[in-house]
Amino acid sequence: MPPHSHATADSPGAGPDPHAATDTQRIQEQSDLCSTLEPQDIARLRAIAQPQDYAAGEVVLRQGPKVDAVFLPCSGCLMVERSGAGGQRQVLAFLYAGYFLGFNTSSRFLYSVVALEKSSVLRFPAENFRKLAQELPALRDNIGRINNLVLSRVLDHLFAIGQKRAHARVAFLLWELWSRAAADGQQHLVHLPMRRADIGAYLGLTLETTSRAFSRLRRDGIIATPDNSSVRILDAGALQELADVK
């Protein structure tokens, strides 16, 4: 098998397909990180970015090593997971274009990240990124806003797995994904690159319970599942009510 043209966190290297450069630049410029930056400051940030491509199943970064970069996903879907000393596994997030990785209070990565499908990211070396943040107050402010958004998502996730019944937890995840898909112009279809077991690990459910939750949502006429990797939203109002989001 020929080698992939990508770079891991352990071995930075080749960049992505040059045809994707325009989309990558657009995603960076429209991201929360650049929302209040002047064009010349965005150009400085772009100058330190290292494009990287990953195939489905490839590791973007591993739990444990020293934090050496900030990552901006530009396409595809990444899964963030953490493993305990006893082998326990918890999925912490599913990340799409525009999300961020690497804003840690710890000096080491506390999670691993795996590409669930063909994905591209921009890698910003930590030392260069910190230096730029020191020089650009607007960038520091944007980092603070991103951290607040991350905290908000974490609290929503904790509430979902702590208070909701199984089918309501699945509804919560589907609502999150559907809201993003609708913003991208996909009116009723949600793409699910993750396995049902990954969804269960994210929502604190067993595989069997996750499957039953999907079955109930289908039976109630809220969703349809054309295949294992997609869900069609049939009743957005009922989904939102179950997800308990505003």
- Mean pLDDT across 230-244: 93
Share of the chain above pLDDT 70, in %: 88
Cα dist. 70→83, 120, 143, 189 in Å? 21, 14, 11, 31
Q: pLDDT digit string (tens) for 45-70?
A: 899 999 999 999 999 999 999 989 99
User: What DSSP string describes 21-63?
Assistant: HHHHHHHHHHSGGGTT--HHHHHHHHHT-EEEEE-TT-EEE-S
pLDDT band at residue 105, thresholds of 50, 70 and 90?
Answer: confident
pLDDT band at residue 183, thresholds of 50, 70 and 90?
Answer: low
Burial of 141 by CB count in 10 Å (0-12 exposed, 13-18 middle, 19+ buried)?
A: middle
Predicted local confidence at residue 29, as pLDDT: 72
Looking at per-residue pLDDT, the higher value among 184 and 87 belongs to 87
Predicted local confidence at residue 22, as pLDDT: 66
- Is the per-residue pLDDT at 103 higher than 60? yes
Q: Do 59 and 81 contact (CB within 8 A), yes or no? A: no
Q: Which one-letter amino acid corresponds to residue 186?
A: Q
| φ, ψ of residue 50 in degrees (nearest 5) | -115, 105
What is the reported pTM?
A: 0.81
- Is the per-residue pLDDT at 112 higher than 90? yes
Q: Cα-Cα-Cα-Cα dihedral of 194, 74, 98, 162, to 10°?
A: 20
Predicted local confidence at residue 12, as pLDDT: 42
User: Which stretches of the chain are DSSP H helices?
Assistant: 21-30, 39-47, 126-135, 137-163, 166-183, 196-203, 207-219, 236-243
Predicted local confidence at residue 4, as pLDDT: 37
pLDDT band at residue 185, thresholds of 50, 70 and 90?
Answer: low
Question: Measured between alpha carbons, how far is 131 from 112 in angstroms, rounded to an integer?
Answer: 25
Q: Which one-letter amino acid corresponds to residue 79?
A: M
- Is the per-residue pLDDT at 115 higher than 50? yes
Question: Measured between alpha carbons, how far is 167 from 161 in angstroms, rounded to an integer?
Answer: 11
User: 22-26, 107-111, 125-129 — which is least confidently predicted?
Assistant: 22-26
Predicted local confidence at residue 6, as pLDDT: 43
pLDDT band at residue 171, thresholds of 50, 70 and 90?
Answer: very high
- Is the per-residue pLDDT at 8 higher than 80? no
Cα dist. 206→97, 116, 133, 179 in Å? 28, 20, 42, 25
- Is the per-residue pLDDT at 1 higher than 70? no
- Mean pLDDT across 99-121: 88
User: 24-33, 90-99, 112-121, 126-135 — which is least confidently predicted?
Assistant: 24-33
Predicted local confidence at residue 5, as pLDDT: 38
Residue from 111, 47, 50, 48 nearest 84 by CA: 111
Predicted local confidence at residue 184, as pLDDT: 61
Predicted local confidence at residue 98, as pLDDT: 81
Q: What is the mean pLDDT of the chain?
A: 84
User: Which stretches of 89-136 are DSSP H helices?
Assistant: 126-135
